[in-house]
Amino acid sequence: MANADVVALLENIALALELKQESPFRIRAYREAARNVAFLIPDIRQLFAEGKLEEIPGVGSSIAEKIADYLTTGKSAYLEAMGPEAPAGVLELTRIPGVGPRRARTIYDALNIQTAAALAEACRQGQIRALKGLGAATEARILQEIERLPERSRRIPLGVALPLAERIVASLRVWPGIDRAEPAGSVRRCMEMVGDIDVLVAAKDASVVRDAVTRGLPFAPELIASGPTKMTFLAPGAWQVDVRVVPERSWGAALQYFTGSMAHNIVLRERAMARRLKLNEYGLFDLDTGASVAGRTEAEIYERLDLDWIPPELREAAGEIEAAEAGRLPRLVESSDVRGDFHSHTMYSDGEAGIEAMARAALALGYEFLAITDHSPGLGITHGLDLAKLVRQRQEIVALRPKLAPFRILHGIELEIRASGELDFPDDILAGFDLVTASLHLATRQGTERITARLLAALAHPLVGILNHPSGRLLDTRPAYDFDLDQVIDAARAHGKALEINGSYLRLDLPDSAARRARDRGVVFSLGSDAHSIAGLGAMRLAVAVARRSLIGPDQVLNTWSADRRAASAAIRQPPVPGVSGGR
Ligand code: DGT
Ligand code: CA
Ligand code: CA
Ligand code: ZN
């Protein structure tokens, strides 16, 4: 598996750089590239052959060069030049959330532990708490994370599963003899992590579908099982795909059934029984006569059960059926409501594209505006905007505006909330931005009170409008920091500030459960792609998906508001600061 080997190479380089205490910016770049390669759909050797390595998100010319060297020679001159490689065991241990390279090294050096299983055993015996810089609480957390490892590695992030599912159905739809193809299961429900990718196909003949799967996909699938109504294959990345074949007349019933969730379906089946009807994947039938009463479309099934059609994102038996019965399902925000993006990066910090390219890409998406929010310097010396870069960026944006009008480029900033709770720029500089968004990336283990206080201080600051990725969790790899969500929600509400729903497929933050809580308390949200490249702007749809699962309607989403309404909001409007003239 070339992709997995390249992931290991990039992780090894990151680890070597980290042990040498190199620039955090470079280390992070390798780590992000490794993650993106891990989630890559095509075979990386093919991309290399086509000269397309730099199209992988997070892979610039310098990382592409290292990958090319490795794919050509089977080894890495760059890695070898850094001296003897860290033992494989150290890298293995760093895969455990909460175990960084330093800790891995300490544990390896002291106890010669090289595997997660051996580390779990050492935790149980209380050997880890005795090591320098660790302790009983850390030991317990490490053990807990190791126990959750098998479950983690099996599931697929939505940001990988959704585009993959869509590529598959797009290829199947155009195959002769295939009438319809749609994603189903948890992908269609937009769960943040999915177990596998379910695809439903309507065709007269299952052998046609088998041909389409083996010959019509943009990659070579590894067929695991193939029967008359169901096929299972692995896509590159070893992601499992289930394809089910149904006749056209059962399409709606099958789509409803295979979308789930199981809990939602059970309630629906009981509802059918109460009406002397039987619901299954073939249709909705009269119990007495056996006659079919619905099944071609999903809508007619819900209608026949006296329900409004329920958006798939809500089908979790969590109150949606009662709401559909009462005609009270809320209108959910849609991608087409979104007028712009509040979170994006350019080459001025760690993005890959320039301002104009990003803005033109946003324009091509039909947006009215794009906020450029590069990092403030606190995240790493070479990384963020120093004052000189800030001035150049402002000049470039001001010069671009007339070229792109009426499209609007907002000069924003992703401002670090420092470990002390101070913000990374003084007020007179902040006052010059069109939009100030604040993030907490550093010192994330201070404990509930201090972390919460830092978040509250940022929300209370009159010049800060949006709190980015408020929980700090990384999907499947790092838990949220320890903070008081309810206090953050209340503060956002009280100050009229927005909480972000960050669509980066590595984050999805706020997560749906937390966003739902904030939604119920009337908070306004900003949706952000956190794009670091042109393609990254596409992550907006994941933010929309999380918002929909959280029952959020357009009225609670800043991105859907008119320019006048946006400008009047405390999340964007800059109150005048005495003695300072704003840059707008
Ligand atoms: P996942 O894959 O674990 O993220 O979750 P799902 O919901 O996609 O589950 P999956 O792939 O096992 O099945 C897809 C849908 O098919 C599921 O949501 C409901 C339906 N389904 C599958 N097996 C059964 C079953 O035995 N009974 C019922 N009622 N529904 C089923
Ligand atoms: Ca599934
Ligand atoms: Ca499945
Ligand atoms: Zn960002």
Which of 151, 192, 193, 198 to mutate for ligand 1's pocket (most ligand atoms within 8 Å of CB)? 198
The number of the ligand 1 atom at minimal distance from the alpha carbon of 155 is 4
Question: 185 CA to middle of ligand 3, Å?
Answer: 7
The number of the ligand 1 atom at minimal distance from the alpha carbon of 242 is 11
Ligand 1 lining (C-beta closer than 6 Å)? 185-186, 191, 194-196, 198, 257-258, 260-262, 265
- Listed residue (433, 430, 506) closest to 474, CA to CA: 506
Question: 286 CA to middle of ligand 2, Å?
Answer: 29
**Which whole-number Å values give the CA distances from 567 to 496, 500, 557, 562, 584, in the listed order?**
13, 17, 14, 9, 12
The full length of the chain comes to: 584
Rg value, the chain, Cα: 25
The number of the ligand 1 atom at minimal distance from the alpha carbon of 258 is 16
Whole-structure pTM over 0.85, yes or no?
no
The number of the ligand 1 atom at minimal distance from the alpha carbon of 196 is 2
Q: Whose CA is nearest to atom 5 of ligand 1?
A: 186
CA distance 71 to 79: 14
CA distance 240 to 182: 16
Q: Whose CA is nearest to atom 25 of ligand 1?
A: 262
Residues in contact with 315: Cβ distance below 8 Å, sequence separation at least 6, in sequence order? 189, 259, 260, 261, 264
- Which structure tokens are listed for 548? 């929909």
CATH architecture of the domain 335-567 equals Alpha-Beta Barrel (3.20)
In the chain, CATH 1.10.150.110 sits at: 2-152
Which ligand has the minimum distance to the alpha carbon of residue 241? 3
Which of 186, 199, 273 to mutate for ligand 1's pocket (most ligand atoms within 8 Å of CB)? 186
Site of tokens 């299961």: 185
Fold classification of 2-152 (topology level): DNA polymerase; domain 1 (1.10.150)
DSSP reduced 3-state for 140: helix
Q: In this structure, what are the phi and psi dihedrals at residue 555, rounded to the nearest 5 degrees? A: -65, -20
How do 466-467 and 498-502 pair as beta strands? parallel
In the chain, CATH 3.30.460.10 sits at: 156-246
In the chain, CATH 3.30.210.10 sits at: 260-325
Q: Does domain 156-246 have CATH number 3.40.50.720?
A: no
Question: 549 CA to middle of ligand 3, Å?
Answer: 20
Tell me what pLDDT residue 575 has. 52
CA atoms within 13 A on the CB side of 89: 17
DSSP 8-state symbol, 190: T
pLDDT tens per residue, the chain (584 residues)?
A: 578 889 889 988 988 888 777 877 788 889 888 878 876 777 899 899 999 998 888 898 999 999 999 999 999 999 888 877 667 778 778 878 778 777 888 898 899 898 889 999 999 999 999 998 888 999 998 998 888 777 655 688 999 999 999 999 999 999 999 999 999 999 999 999 999 999 999 998 889 999 999 999 988 898 888 888 999 998 877 789 999 999 999 999 999 999 999 999 999 999 999 999 999 999 999 999 999 999 999 999 999 999 999 999 999 999 999 999 999 999 999 999 999 999 999 999 988 899 999 999 999 999 999 999 999 987 664 467 888 999 999 999 999 999 999 999 999 999 999 999 999 999 999 999 999 999 999 888 898 999 999 999 999 999 999 999 999 998 877 889 999 999 999 999 999 999 999 999 889 999 999 999 999 999 999 999 999 999 999 999 999 999 999 999 999 999 999 999 998 898 886 555 444 444 44
Q: What is the side-by-side order of every strand in the sheet holding 277-280?
A: 277-280, 283-286, 292-294
Domain at 260-325: CATH code: 3.30.210.10
According to the 3-state scheme, what is the secondary structure of 452-520?
HHHHHHHHHCCCCCEECCCCCCECCCECCCCCCHHHHHHHHHHHCCEEEEECCCCCCECCHHHHHHHHH
Q: Whose CA is nearest to atom 26 of ligand 1?
A: 262
Tell me what pLDDT residue 151 has. 63
CA distance 207 to 426: 67
Q: Give me the amino acid identity at 56.
A: I
In the chain, CATH 3.20.20.140 sits at: 335-567
